[in-house]
Structure 1
Amino acid sequence: MRARTRHLLLAAGLVPALAAAAGQPHDPASSVPAPVYSTLPVPVSGQAAMGEIDWREANDTVGAFTGGHRDVLRWEAEHMPSTAAQALPDGEPLAAAEALRIALGKRPDLFASETMGALERAEADIAVINLSRDVHRAWIKAVSAEQTLRRAEEAFEAVDVSTELALRMTRVGNWGQDRLLKKQLSHADTAIALAQTRQEAASAREQLIRQLGLWGAEASTLRLPDSLPALPAAPLDAEGLEATAVRNHPRLQLLAIRAEWARRGLSAGTLETWQNAAQSALSAQLPQRSASDDPMGGLITRAPLLEYRRLPARHEAGDAMRAQAEAAALAADIRSQVREAYHQYRVAYDIARLAEENARLSEEIQEETLLQYNGMLKSTWDLLASARDRVERSGAAVNARRDFWLAHANLQAVLAGADYAGPDGSSLSAAGNPNAAGGH
């Protein structure tokens, strides 16, 4: 049995013998891997006295490398002991569709049955739609968080190299202590940002694991894709989205049918009498011209009162009005949520396109800076600054793509019958300001 197939069957509870052999999550005696924690790299620190190293000797060392200081540091990184990155788990990366299959397989309590009534079935459908949205959102956040972590590690590496170079330049007498201390402070800040990003990635991963219901070895060996899917060539068209949501919402259709059945058999005169009575009750409670000095008009403190003694004896007309009002309110709410979700979807799409273009431009700038550096037209500091800018803008592009797919998941859920989960707008500032993208 392939590892991937076995994993899916276990998750769905279709191989009880194997699952029993592995123990149960509620059993404290079950054997599980210990939590993993990666320590931060050792910071570049220490005091350096100006001129403590002979500058001629230092220049001879640098001159042995065609790339100058950059090649010296690269050579040392390749030949000196270092902390190796943690190996990725074996197996195929978990796709979003597979994540949903695993999560739903762990939740038989959400399954429908033929004994359910229409309203119960509608609520069951909505619960599954909500689960689908939440799993997709958790998967999107976990994948993007791990991708952002890799960008943060690249940013830390660039700062690490520049700090080491500053330390050496101070020791040969080319820098003062004030400039070195500022570099070391920036190095510590970047290390803190890296630790925070690692925590964010770990939290996003665990949130996905909780949605999937995994534990033990299944949780520790979960492997995610290296990146989110690329942006679509064009966004969804807005035409017909409201109609789709109104048509698909499980509970709205039931309310609409109930309102229609309640209305049948009532004369137009009876319905008009009830509508006029409701309007009179509203006018009595909230006059069109209020005598209050409050520019907002004040709040309604009591419900409008319908005088039943002046209404026809057929009270089913009141039931029909309430059923119609309930269906109309839900339909208006659904249509509004579609418009809001679609607007956020389009904003996120446009921002992601611009952020990816910024990332592409920053890569071209770094390549041009490298050419000028090799031609001795740019300094090592220019090259390091360009590298860090590229990493930061790449991270902003990752966040913007994440927010687009989150907006996409929200829109699809609303169209299927779920409530709008709300905007994910962290990339609104990150796209234009790479330093706002998680602080990296």
Structure 2
Amino acid sequence: MTCLHKLAGGASLVLLLSGCASLSGDGGFGAAAGISEARTGVKASVAGRLPRNEDDERALAAIIHQKLAQPLAADDAVQIALLNNRGLQASYWSLGVVEADLVQAGRLQNPVLDFKRSHGNGEVGIERTLTFNLVGLITAPMAGRIEGRRYEQTKLLVANEALKVAADTRRAWVDAVAASQIADYAKQVEASAQASAELAERMRKAGNWSALDLAREQAYHAQTVAEVTHAQKAAVSAREKLTRLLGLSGEQAASYRLPDHLPELPATPRELADIEQVALNERLDVQAAKLDTEQTASTLGLTRSTRFINVLDLGAVRNTDGGTATRGYELSLEIPLFDWGSARVARAESTYMQSVNLLAQAAVQARSEARESYADYRASYELARHYRDQVVPLRKRISDQTLLRYNGMLMSVFELLADAREQASAVSGYIGALQAYWTAQANLEAALGGRLPSNKGVQP
């Protein structure tokens, strides 16, 4: 068998093996979406794929319209963000780029056919050379493994980006609902302060109040007006932040509704054990850092194995000179005369050590964030419970007793108004503490890499 036949047979075998690698059809989106769905508890795709055409867009619009037809719950907000956030959609498409690189790595470089024709002295010379890249053939398995790890790493990073969007959306939902609730309560306080100021003015005209007392009530009313404006500004800002994460615009952005108040505090907080290990096992960024280190180690091995052989081409040659045909082969080899590959190996080793230290830092970061988030979660729960079980009930009891004493003419109107202000402060404090608790829970879920174990009545 000629050299040409042998090379053609070997190339056919490699091409057959490399042909097993093929594109998934969805750019790896299904795998990444599956990871995020498992960790967020909400569906992250429409018909299992990224929107590609008008039919997909209409299906997405129908889902969003259904979710926005009622006050937007936290899980519904997260689902809309996972489906409609354009920045996240761009991240999903980046996974398709890496998948294409993976499939490309499993395919050999095309052979090169050189053809040369010459003539002179009545004779015609023809030279044909078919060349294959042997370095590509030798290193193909390792290159495929490297690209495979890179694909898995990118899949984890894209899924982690989806988790970040979900966590940001959940926090933004909590902030938007709380800001709206605070703004509504500020309006109630302002209305009460206005009534008090009007009463004070009448009493001043009747000669029962001093000018100082009247000024105090008017100043308090003016302050509540300013607080209403401040609360409304905060509510608009919080709502717009949520709207951006949801990817909404136009009529949808203006018309969607939020619940009137935050969910109530659960009866008990979550008891979580060994949160540091949970973070190391479950966080996708840590898993991606591990794969990056493995990939870098494999790249170092490939660099070492090819440090002396950068170019190695083998070709079958068939020449025709006049009426005589000759056959043979041609070998092209780069001679390491000036560059022995030491710089490439040193660069690869430095890159590997950089990756090792980044992995160690990611582990330290994950452990610390898990501890900090859990401590904040428990402290926020205790604070909100203190407001719910102690501060607010006590303020209500004092308010009830104050009103009874005022009705019995045992207390002046001054004391009644002062009590109303203190009660308003207690209610505002409870709303803020409740907001801090639900935000702390969202932060804890982000630090641990997914939703906390489901308890009835606990999730917002």
User: What TM-score does the superposition give when structure 2 sets the normalisation length?
Assistant: 0.57
Find the counterpart in structure 2 of residue 332 from structure 1.
364
Find the counterpart in structure 1 of residue 81 from structure 2.
103
Q: 1:118 to 1:17 in 2, by over 3 A?
A: closer
**Structure with greater proportional strand content:** 2
CA distance in 1 between counterparts of 2:212 and 2:296 reads 81
Is 1:398–2:376 an aligned residue pair? no
CA distance in 1 between counterparts of 2:449 and 2:288 reads 15
What does 1:126-275 align with in structure 2 at a 5 Å threshold? 126-256=160-290, 259=293
User: What TM-score does the superposition give when structure 1 sets the normalisation length?
Assistant: 0.60
Q: Name the SS for the 2:248 alignment partner.
A: coil
Is the 8 Å Cα contact of residues 169 and 242 (structure 2) preserved in structure 1?
Answer: yes
CA distance in 2 between counterparts of 1:259 and 1:218 reads 44
Is the 8 Å Cα contact of residues 153 and 292 (structure 2) preserved in structure 1?
Answer: no
Which is further off, 113-122 or 336-345? 113-122
CA distance in 1 between counterparts of 2:172 and 2:408 reads 47
Which one-letter code corresponds to 2:220 in the other structure?
A: S
Is the 8 Å Cα contact of residues 250 and 417 (structure 1) preserved in structure 2?
Answer: no
Q: Name the SS for the 1:111 alignment partner.
A: helix
Is 1:344–2:376 an aligned residue pair? yes
Structure number, greater radius of gyration: 2
CA distance in 2 between counterparts of 1:196 and 1:262 reads 52
Is the 8 Å Cα contact of residues 148 and 398 (structure 1) preserved in structure 2?
Answer: yes
Which one-letter code corresponds to 1:204 in the other structure?
A: A
Find the counterpart in structure 2 of residue 362 from structure 1.
395
Which is further off, 217-226 or 373-382? 373-382
Q: 1:360 to 1:122 in 2, by over 3 A?
A: same
Deviations 1:364-405 (A, max 9, x none): 211122222222222333223222222221111000110111
Is the 8 Å Cα contact of residues 178 and 435 (structure 2) preserved in structure 1?
Answer: yes
Which one-letter code corresponds to 1:209 in the other structure?
A: T
Q: Give the superposition deviation at 1:226.
A: 1.4
CA distance in 2 between counterparts of 1:334 and 1:16 reads 37
Q: Give the superposition deviation at 1:150.
A: 1.8
Find the counterpart in structure 2 of residue 374 from structure 1.
407
Deviations 1:73-122 (A, max 9, x none): xxxxxxxxxxxxxxxxx952100111111122213334376764112112
Is the 8 Å Cα contact of residues 95 and 224 (structure 1) preserved in structure 2?
Answer: yes
CA distance in 2 between counterparts of 1:236 and 1:399 reads 20
Percent identity for Structure 1 against Structure 2: 33
Q: 1:92 to 1:255 in 2, by over 3 A?
A: closer
Q: Unaligned regions of 5+ residues in structure 1, if any?
A: 1-7, 21-89, 265-313, 419-440
Deviations 1:118-156 (A, max 9, x none): 121121011101100110011000100111112211221
**Structure with greater proportional helix content:** 2
Which one-letter code corresponds to 2:256 in the other structure?
A: L
Instruction: Say how many residue pairs are matched.
Output: 294
CA distance in 1 between counterparts of 2:296 and 2:226 reads 64
CA distance in 2 between counterparts of 1:17 and 1:132 reads 23
Which one-letter code corresponds to 2:78 in the other structure?
A: L
Cα RMSD after superposing both structures:
3.3
Q: Give the superposition deviation at 1:242.
A: 1.2
Is the 8 Å Cα contact of residues 337 and 414 (structure 1) preserved in structure 2?
Answer: yes
Q: Unaligned regions of 5+ residues in structure 2, if any?
A: 1-44, 62-67, 100-150, 299-344, 452-460
Q: 1:174 to 1:142 in 2, by over 3 A?
A: same
Find the counterpart in structure 2 of residue 94 from structure 1.
72
